[in-house]
């Protein structure tokens, strides 16, 4: 999701795909960080957000994130991925220009090692 997407757009995407966290990108495709359900809930709690219309006027850049998921470069090895996956549910992947390419889920990394046993 791009940093200037509304919270409403983000919530709809998270609900549709059953995401608990979503990577946030800048307008050039660079990885900014990861927004979690918890980030959204704490923001709403601390800002007395009520009603149904407020998500349309709140943007991802307005919501503080408690921590961001560490990225790996596309040329990283499996050991790098594994060390990151121990701490987070997925690992964002960026290219040499720090442009977001995609994510690798922890379950995919576990499956990779399981298949090699």
One pLDDT digit (tens) per residue for the chain, 117 residues: 788 888 888 889 999 999 999 999 998 999 999 999 999 888 887 877 665 566 667 788 888 888 888 999 999 999 999 999 999 989 999 999 999 999 999 999 999 999 998
> Looking at the structure, do residues 46 and 86 belong to the same domain, yes or no?
no
Q: Which domain holds residue 59?
A: 1-68
- Enter the pTM of the model: 0.68
> Looking at the structure, do residues 48 and 96 belong to the same domain, yes or no?
no
Residue with tokens 């990151």: 84
Return d(Cα 67, Cα 42) in angstroms, integer. Answer: 13
| Total domains, the chain | 2
> Looking at the structure, do residues 61 and 98 belong to the same domain, yes or no?
no
> Looking at the structure, do residues 55 and 89 belong to the same domain, yes or no?
no
> Looking at the structure, do residues 79 and 64 belong to the same domain, yes or no?
no
Burial class (CB in 10 A: 0-12, 13-18, 19+), 20: exposed
Q: Residue 72 CA to chain centroid, in angstroms?
A: 14
Instruction: With H, G, I as helix, E, B as strand and everything else as coil, classify residue 50.
Output: coil
């Amino acid at each position: 999701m791009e940093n200037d997407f509304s919270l409403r757009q983000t919530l709809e995407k998270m609900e549709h795909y059953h995401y608990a966290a979503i990577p946030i990108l800048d307008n050039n495709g660079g990885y900014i960080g990861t927004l979690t359900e918890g980030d959204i809930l704490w923001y709403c709690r601390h800002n007395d957000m009520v009603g149904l219309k407020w998500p349309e006027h709140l943007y991802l850049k307005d919501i503080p994130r408690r921590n961001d998921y560490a990225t790996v470069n596309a040329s990283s090895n499996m050991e790098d991925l594994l060390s990151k996956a121990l701490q987070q549910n997925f690992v964002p992947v960026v290219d040499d220009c720090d442009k977001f390419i995609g994510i690798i889920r922890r379950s995919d990394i576990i499956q990779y090692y399981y298949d090699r046993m």
